[in-house]
A and B are shown apart, each in its own frame.
Chain A
């Protein structure tokens, strides 16, 4: 049995790992598919203390991973499929490969991109459907694409794509944007970006690659088709808490409820980072909560 298992390897999970490993608790970090977390997808980070000239997100996170490993934290690149916390400790954590047991757990799974929830979207992921304009934008040189969403991230994706694509339809289900005014102005000033208001994507079309989207205008009640070869989803993020349903208490949006001392609804299971934070969502906050939950976990283990 492990003393401490950390689920997630962003700033929260890795900071917890640094503390726990330095203090001799030999933590195991189950990283999931994306060790390093969201900062791996950013360019320059300028508000993380200690880097007066800014630092690239991936560079920062690779350094944090090495820092945790230096003190003996073990990282396994597996995805958690389910947990049994209610009768713990020992707390059981099941990945695709094995079942781990731990005396204490820190949940730091962060968030994931919100999807439309269509079968066609899932089938065509990587075949024209994308959640990462920075990664995939270059494949759509001189092509028509759609961006779905209405927040800052949608504006940003559309602007990134305007460097490559011939035309960008910005599909939004309302008649005004949630995004900040400065981002909306920037996006709307691009001649390549055309806004399609009051419209919901009902289907992504295409067999082996995206050929278009079927949209429904919720004002006029008319359905139509847009011919595009790429669909970029920018619908914001949701907490990665599916695996904790029925095990840990969460709010109506799926964020884990956090009690005094970073504790979840189960004693011995602690929460750090965006998975329990819909308010700040900052790397430095996540790191701070990672530290707090590590210290609380140490106290829990000593007292039990």
Chain B
């Protein structure tokens, strides 16, 4: 199972823009991957462990290994395609 971690904060504009995108993609992928939201204000240690230095940052994980990451606002379909690319390699 692939996990997508979304490092975000409530006050970050591109994070807010990605909010609805994430919700839609999560619904459309319908349980094919696990979504995990990490509020960097609340889970500072985890953000640090992942060396997050900008938000939003999206990390694709499998079996505890990081496969890829991207930062900043991404258009919905491109975002979905990026995630699906890793699903198809499964």
Roughly how many angstroms separate A87 CA and B14 CA in the complex, as a whole number? 36
Are B54 and A40 in contact, with the CB atoms below 8 A? no
Tell me whether A268 is interfacial, beta carbon within 8 Å.
no
Are B55 and A135 in contact, with the CB atoms below 8 A? yes
Roughly how many angstroms separate A136 CA and B12 CA in the complex, as a whole number? 9
With most chain B CB atoms within 10 A of its CB, the pick from A96, A126, A132 is A126
Contact residues in B for A36 (Cβ distance below 8 Å): 17
Tell me whether B31 is interfacial, beta carbon within 8 Å.
no
Interface residues of B in 34-81 (CB under 8 A from A): 40, 47, 51-55, 57, 69-78, 81
Q: Can you list, as one digit per residue, whether each of A198-226 has a CB less than 8 Å from chain B (1) or not (0)?
A: 00000000001110000000000000000
Are A79 and B75 in contact, with the CB atoms below 8 A? yes
> What is the minimal beta-carbon distance from A35 to any residue of chain B, in angstroms?
6
Tell me whether A125 is interfacial, beta carbon within 8 Å.
yes
Roughly how many angstroms separate A96 CA and B21 CA in the complex, as a whole number? 16
Are B51 and A208 in contact, with the CB atoms below 8 A? yes
Roughly how many angstroms separate A32 CA and B81 CA in the complex, as a whole number? 15
Contact residues in B for A97 (Cβ distance below 8 Å): 77
Which interface class (under 10, 10 to 19, 20 to 34, 35 or more) fits A? Answer: 20 to 34
Tell me whether A58 is interfacial, beta carbon within 8 Å.
yes
Selected from A58, A134, A136, A209, the residue in CB contact (under 8 A) with B16 is A58
Closest to B77 in A: A97
Q: What is the number of contacts between chain A and chain B, taking CB atoms within 8 Å?
A: 83
Are A96 and B17 in contact, with the CB atoms below 8 A? no
Tell me whether A127 is interfacial, beta carbon within 8 Å.
yes
Are A96 and B77 in contact, with the CB atoms below 8 A? yes
Tell me whether A95 is interfacial, beta carbon within 8 Å.
yes
Known A96-B75, A126-B69; judge A136-B54 contact (CB<8 A): yes
Are A127 and B75 in contact, with the CB atoms below 8 A? no
Known A78-B77, A126-B70, A126-B72; judge A40-B17 contact (CB<8 A): yes
Q: Can you list, as one digit per residue, whether each of A11-38 has a CB less than 8 Å from chain B (1) or not (0)?
A: 0000000000000000000011111100
Closest to A125 in B: B71
Are B75 and A41 in contact, with the CB atoms below 8 A? no
Are B73 and A34 in contact, with the CB atoms below 8 A? yes
> What is the minimal beta-carbon distance from B70 to any residue of chain A, in angstroms?
7
Selected from B17, B71, B77, the residue in CB contact (under 8 A) with A34 is B17
Roughly how many angstroms separate A132 CA and B54 CA in the complex, as a whole number? 9
Tell me whether A128 is interfacial, beta carbon within 8 Å.
yes
Tell me whether A230 is interfacial, beta carbon within 8 Å.
yes
Roughly how many angstroms separate A36 CA and B13 CA in the complex, as a whole number? 10
Are B77 and A136 in contact, with the CB atoms below 8 A? no
Contact residues in A for B76 (Cβ distance below 8 Å): 77-78
Roughly how many angstroms separate A58 CA and B12 CA in the complex, as a whole number? 10
> What is the minimal beta-carbon distance from B7 to any residue of chain A, in angstroms?
10
Are B53 and A33 in contact, with the CB atoms below 8 A? no
> What is the minimal beta-carbon distance from B65 to any residue of chain A, in angstroms?
15
Known A96-B81, A126-B70, A135-B12; judge A32-B54 contact (CB<8 A): no
19 interchain pairs, CB-CB under 8 A:
A31-B75, A33-B74, A34-B14, A35-B17, A40-B13, A77-B77, A78-B75, A78-B77, A96-B78, A97-B77, A125-B72, A126-B57, A126-B69, A126-B70, A132-B14, A135-B12, A135-B14, A136-B53, A208-B51
Please give 14 more A-B residue pairs, beta carbons under 8 A apart, in addition to A40-B16, A77-B75, A136-B53: A33-B17, A33-B72, A41-B13, A58-B16, A77-B21, A125-B71, A126-B70, A127-B53, A128-B53, A130-B53, A132-B54, A136-B55, A139-B53, A209-B53
Q: Hey, which bits of chain B sit against chain A, CB under 8 A?
A: 9, 12-17, 21, 40, 47, 51-55, 57, 69-78, 81
Q: Hey, which bits of chain A sit against chain B, CB under 8 A?
A: 31-36, 40-41, 58, 77-79, 95-97, 125-130, 132, 134-136, 138-140, 208-210, 229-230
